[in-house]
Amino acid sequence: MTDRFVDISLDKRGVRCTAKLLDDLAPITCRTVWEALPLGGDVYHAKYARNEIYALFPAFADAEPPLENPTVTPIPGDLCYFSFAGTQLATGSHGYSAEGVSQDRPTIVDLALFYERNNLLLNGDQGWVPGIVWGAVVEGLDRMTDACQDLWRAGAVGETLSFRRA
């Protein structure tokens, strides 16, 4: 298989980076995300995981991928996939709310980009929250890091995080 790449962008800020899919380490997750692209939604900045931005989506796979290539300590440039039951993290301040989640598809998918080091996926309500590492940024992480820090300080209102095939 040839290498596949995804562009990740903060649309309002006009900043993007490119990630290589880790098909060899997370083949099911990579296929699941690739087939769902393009995806975009409101961006959130993590409160507890530290240097993470993410967007939330209704489940887009018939079955959620297994926990392949898991981590609880993502490094700069990691793209992670999380799935949560609609009520598991129903906290509006984190972007997780039951609004718009139907009874027959209560799963929320969280696609995240980690932009600096010293991240720990530990939630006070849920405990350890391992993520599936499905991609690694290969270009533009420096620009994206600056934009993510601006997002943390200036706010995320009106900003969109998008994932597209490169």
Provide DSSP, 11-45: TTTTEEEEEEE-TTT-HHHHHHHHHH-SEEEE-EE
State pLDDT tens for residues 119-142.
Answer: 999 987 778 999 999 999 999 999
What pLDDT score does 99 carry? 53
State the DSSP H helix or E strand holding residue 10, giving kind and residue range, or none if neither.
Answer: strand 5-10
Long-range contacts of residues 99-104, Cβ cutoff 8 Å, at least 24 apart: 100/58, 101/58
Does residue 83 contact residue 108 with C-beta atoms inside 8 Å?
Answer: yes
Backbone angles phi, psi at 39, to 5 degrees: -135, 145
Number of domains in the chain: 1
State the CATH number of the domain containing residue 87: 2.40.100.20
Q: 156: which strand partners?
A: none
Domain extent at residue 30: 5-165
What pLDDT score does 47 carry? 83
pLDDT band at 101 (very low <50, low <70, confident <90, very high): very low
- What is the model's pTM? 0.90
Return the closest-CA partner of residue 10 out of 62, 61, 53, 72. 53
Here the tokens at position 93 are 């301040």
**Residue 2 pLDDT exceeds 60:** yes
Here the tokens at position 104 are 């027959």
What pLDDT score does 125 carry? 75
Does residue 8 contact residue 113 with C-beta atoms inside 8 Å?
Answer: yes
What pLDDT score does 34 carry? 98
State pLDDT tens for residues 27-68.
Answer: 999 999 999 999 999 999 998 889 999 999 999 999 999 999
pLDDT average, residue stretch 78-105: 65
